[in-house]
Amino acid sequence: MSQTRRMLCLFLSLLLLPAGLYGQEKSGFTQLFNGKNLDGWNTTGNWIMEKDNVITLKPRPGETGWTRYKDYLTTDRQYSNFVLDLEFKFNAKGNSGVFMHVGDLKDHVKSGFEVQILDTYGKKNVGNHDCGGVIGAAAPSKNMVKPAGQWNRYIITLKDQQLQVILNDEQIIDLNISTSEIKDRPTKGYISFQDEAKRIWYRNVRIKELK
């Protein structure tokens, strides 16, 4: 094959790349899962990598509650300022959460903060414990969660103690952490997905670190 033909094939292959993948490389985002296993994460819970870069929790018999912190799915490194982009879905009565700035892996609740994931579709008056809320600190401005079984998308931006949360294309949180009820939490820490002993799915989890 001539050099010219080889270059033409390369150019055409780049044009055929999925737009999301190519844009992802240009945008500075990094996938937090490799699509094969849970390398880069720590857990003793029954988290399983499925096809299409989907991660799911399959609770084991006898597991209950949310204080089994070792069963949470937690990054092996800490983050400070970032944009976290992910999708999630749950079954009816599903419950999980996205923890950030976790400083003590023995107690995520007291050493970090949580953006709630909960089956609260259709609820009229939502509080900080409903889907999209920051537990103990801020209620979502609007109930944007979809019905059980449908994929939702969070875009969570954390920059210099300012937290913004977008759920399904609607900004629902704009919180200054330094003046909130969670102002005593670390400014850097682990990212962790909560094990509430409820079936949950995540996919397309990616991060862009901010300076």
Tokens of 168: 């399904």
pTM (predicted TM-score): 0.87
- Assess whether 4 and 68 both reside in one domain: no
- Assess whether 8 and 65 both reside in one domain: no
Please classify residue 52 by burial: count the beta carbons closer than 10 Å to its beta carbon, then call 0-12 exposed, 13-18 middle and 19+ buried: exposed
Distance separating alpha carbons of residues 48 and 26, to the nearest angstrom: 29
- Assess whether 21 and 114 both reside in one domain: no
CB 211 within 8 A of CB 179: no
- Per-residue pLDDT tens, the chain, 211 aa: give them: 444 444 434 333 333 333 333 234 458 999 999 999 999 999 999 999 999 999 999 999 999 999 999 999 999 999 999 999 999 999 999 999 999 999 999 999 999 999 999 999 999 999 999 999 999 999 999 999 999 999 999 999 999 999 999 999 999 999 999 999 999 999 999 999 999 999 999 999 999 999 9
Distance separating alpha carbons of residues 186 and 4, to the nearest angstrom: 55
- Assess whether 8 and 96 both reside in one domain: no
| Structural domain that includes position 204 | 32-209
- Assess whether 4 and 73 both reside in one domain: no
- Assess whether 67 and 156 both reside in one domain: yes
- Looking at the 3D structure of the chain, how many domains does it have? 2
- Assess whether 20 and 65 both reside in one domain: no
